Structure formats: C-alpha cells, structure tokens
A and B are shown apart, each in its own frame.
Chain A
C-alpha cells in the first residue's frame, strides 16, 4: 500500500460540474502539495498546504491533518481542466523529498 493514495484514479465529468479529488496519506507530514500535469507533460504546482484551506480561482484545496486527508475541488469545470492531478506529501525536513500519489486522470467533456 502506498503512503499516499488518491481517489478516484480516473474521473470523467461534463463541463460545469463540481469535481472533487481525494488524497489520503499514512505518514506524518509538514506540507501537502497538489500538482497538475497537462497532457503535454509539464507539471505545475497548484497548492501547498499545511493546514486549513486555500483557494485560487476555481480551485480549492483543503486539508485535515488529524484525518490525514486532503481534497482538491474544481468548481464549474472546463475542458481545459483536463489533466492529471497529483497529490504529494513532504515530511519535516524534506529537502524536496516528496512522496507522490499515483495521480488522478481528469477528463472534462464539453
């Protein structure tokens, strides 16, 4: 069992739908990252969380440290949101040593 598990692994939605991607982890962390990998392959950092909630545009990320769980929400989804979303966790003195989830493939149809 991986230290970081994401669900679902694949997600298909219609444009405009509200989307939730979940991430559970089994180790103590000091930060959790959400990354987006587009079909072209490039990786972009979306959020970095150590507590609470962050919002950027239509994206919202939450984390519950006690439950070792984080969610990434996309409101009013759009086909351009189609990508792989990756959760990654960092320990105390991580030096960039992130442990990654397997990714969630999101496809949004027009």
Chain B
C-alpha cells in the first residue's frame, strides 16, 4: 500500500480551466502539506494543514485552495489555471508539526497548462 498517494500523476489542461489534485495518506499522520517544484527543480512549500486546520499559507495566489475533509486527505483545487502554474506538485505528510518530523512524500503530479 502506498503511504502517501496523489492523483492524477499527470494533468494536462488549458489555461483558464479549474482542476483538482487529490492526496491521501494512510499513515495516521496529523499533518499534511502541498509543495510546488518549479522547472528549475526548486521545491517550495505552499500549504500545511494540521488536523484539518490550515497552519501555513505561503503567499500562494488565492486561485489555489486546499481542502481537507479529514486528516487523511488534503486536496488541492486550482481555479483559472495560468501558464505559470505548470510545475510538479507534491503532497506530503508527517506525524506532527515539529521541525524534526520526517516527511513522507507522494509521487508528485506533473501539471502542464497549455
């Protein structure tokens, strides 16, 4: 069983569309995250949720809205997609919010906006 699973793995869409990426973890973790990896492979945190509560929102445009229906799921909705949103998006989870918590990553979703 995959510990952190995200779908879809690839997402190709037109500018202006609305799309969602789903993430689920079966590790019993309290904290989930979304990270963005740009074309230069730089990773940057977007959101952090702890027990369904938003903890971090890192100056992400409000076209991006995370939704956490329960602590095992953190989905990412993106409205009015723009070319610059093309990137790889990684979901991750950890047991807690401390700096020394090990992160478990999903396999990534490669989003291409045409």
- Please name all residues of chain A whose beta carbon is closer than 8 Å to the beta carbon of B55 when the two chains form the complex: 95-96
CB–CB B88/A95 < 8 A: no
Near A by CB (< 8 A), chain B positions 79-114 give 88, 90, 92, 94, 97-105, 107-108, 110
**Of B42, B56, B88, which is within 8 A of A100 by CB?**
B42
A27 at the interface (CB under 8 A from B): no
Minimum Cβ distance to chain A for residue B18 (Å): 24
Q: How far is the CB of A92 from chain B (nearest CB, A)?
A: 7
Size class of B's contact patch?
20 to 34
Whether B100 lies near A50 (C-beta < 8 A) is: yes
**A42-B105, A96-B94 given; A91·B88 CB < 8 A:** no
CB contacts (< 8 Å) of B94 on chain A: these are 96
Q: Are B56 and A95 in contact (CB under 8 A)?
A: yes
* Residue B25 lies at the interface, judged by CB distance under 8 Å to chain A: no
In the complex where A31-B100, A42-B107, A45-B103 touch, is A95 in contact with B50 (Cβ < 8 A)? yes
Docked Cα-Cα span, A84 to B56, in Å, equals 26
Say yes or no: A43-B99 contact (C-beta < 8 A), given A97-B58, A100-B44: no
User: What 1/0 mask marks residues of chain B from 4 to 46 whose CB sits below 8 Å from any chain A CB?
Assistant: 0000000000000000000000000001010000001111110
Interface residues of A (CB under 8 A from B): 29-31, 33, 35, 37, 40-45, 48, 50, 84, 86, 88, 90-98, 100, 102-103
* Other A-B pairs beyond A31-B99, A90-B100, A91-B99, 14, CB < 8 Å: A35-B105, A40-B107, A43-B108, A48-B102, A88-B43, A93-B97, A93-B98, A94-B97, A95-B48, A96-B56, A96-B92, A96-B97, A97-B56, A102-B40
